[in-house]
Amino acid sequence: MITANTFQHSNSAKQIDSFRNFIWNFYAQHQRPFAWRNVEDPYLVVVSEIMLQQTQTYRVEPKFDAFIAAFPDFQSLADASQRDVLSAWQGLGYNRRGMFLHKIAQKVVAEFDGTLPSDPEILVSFPGIGKATAASICAFAFNRPTVFIETNIRTVFIHSFFKDRDDVHDNELIPLIQQVLDQGNPREWYYALMDYGVYLKKMLPNPSRKSRHHTKQSKFEGSDRQIRGMIVRLLADHGAVTKKKLFSTIDRDAERVEKIAQQLITEGLISIDGNKFFM
C-alpha cells in the first residue's frame, strides 16, 4: 500500500490510481445500501447528514424512514411545530440536532424559496452545519468534489498511510483526501471510503485511537446527556408539565434537573412559564 510519505514526495497518477482501484473494488463487493444514498432530493441528504452526526447508521435507518414519512420535504418540516419535530426525533439523542434540522428547513423555505443552496460557503451559515457537514451535503446532494473528513474516512487514511503512528492530526489527512478524491464521482467515492472504514473498524481493534482527535465517549447512564433526553422526551410527550411533575418523573437530584432544564431553556429546546415547563 502507498504511504503518506510517497504522496508527499511523488504524486504519481499510478499511485493515486492504485489506491482508488483498491477502494472501488472493495465498494463493488461490499457497498451498503441506505435510503439516503444516490438520491436526487437534497432534503433527504440533509436529514440523513444531521441524523448521522454522532449516531450510528443502524440507529438512524428506522428513524430516518419514520421522519421522512412524517415530514417528506423542507416545507412540511418548516411548517411543523418544534414539539412535533422533537417527538419524531426521539431515539436519536442529541436533541439540539432535531431543533437545528427544523431551523434549517425554515431557513431554506424563508430565504431560498425551498431550494437548498449547493454552495458550502452558504451552508455553513445554517444552524447546526459546520464546514465538514456543509461539504458532505454538497458532495452527496449535488455530487460536488468537496473535501471533508469524518470518522470512517479518518480510519481509512490512518490505516492506509499512517500504520506506525498514534498521533495523526486531521491536517495531515486532508491533503491526502484531496489528492485521491475522484473528481468525476465524489458522491460514490465517499460512500466507498466510508464503507471501507466501517469494515476496518470491525476488523481492527479501535483504529480511531490513532487519531490525535480521538476522545473516549463519556458514560451515558447517569449523565447530563441522559437527563437532557429525559426532559425533552417528557415534554415532547406531554407538551407541558409542572416543576413538581418534572422532578417527580425524572428521579434525579432536583437541583441538577432544574439546572439542566435551565440549559435547555437557554438553548431554545424548551420554555418556561410560571411553574410550568413546556415545548
Distance of alpha carbon 245 from alpha carbon 241, whole angstroms: 6
pLDDT tens digit sequence for 220-257: 787 898 999 999 999 999 999 999 999 999 988 989 99
Q: Show which residues are catalytic.
A: 49
pLDDT of res. 14: 82
Residue 7 has pLDDT above 60, yes or no: no
pLDDT band per the 50, 70, 90 thresholds, residue 1: very low
- pTM (two decimals): 0.86
The string of DSSP codes covering 114-174 is T-----HHHHTTSTT--HHHHHHHHHHHH--------HHHHHHHHHHH-TT-S-B-HHHHH
pLDDT band per the 50, 70, 90 thresholds, residue 10: very low
pLDDT of res. 206: 72
23 or 17, which is more confident: 23
- Strands lying side by side in the sheet with 240-242: 240-242, 276-278, 271-273
Give, for 217, the enclosing helix (H) or strand (E): none
pLDDT tens digit sequence for 178-200: 999 999 999 999 999 999 999 99
Mean pLDDT, all residues of the chain: 91
pLDDT tens digit sequence for 28-62: 999 999 999 999 899 999 999 999 998 999 999 99
pLDDT of res. 13: 75
pLDDT of res. 3: 47
Residue 130's region, left for phi above 0, alpha for psi from -120 to 50, else beta, is beta
Distance of alpha carbon 46 from alpha carbon 73, whole angstroms: 10
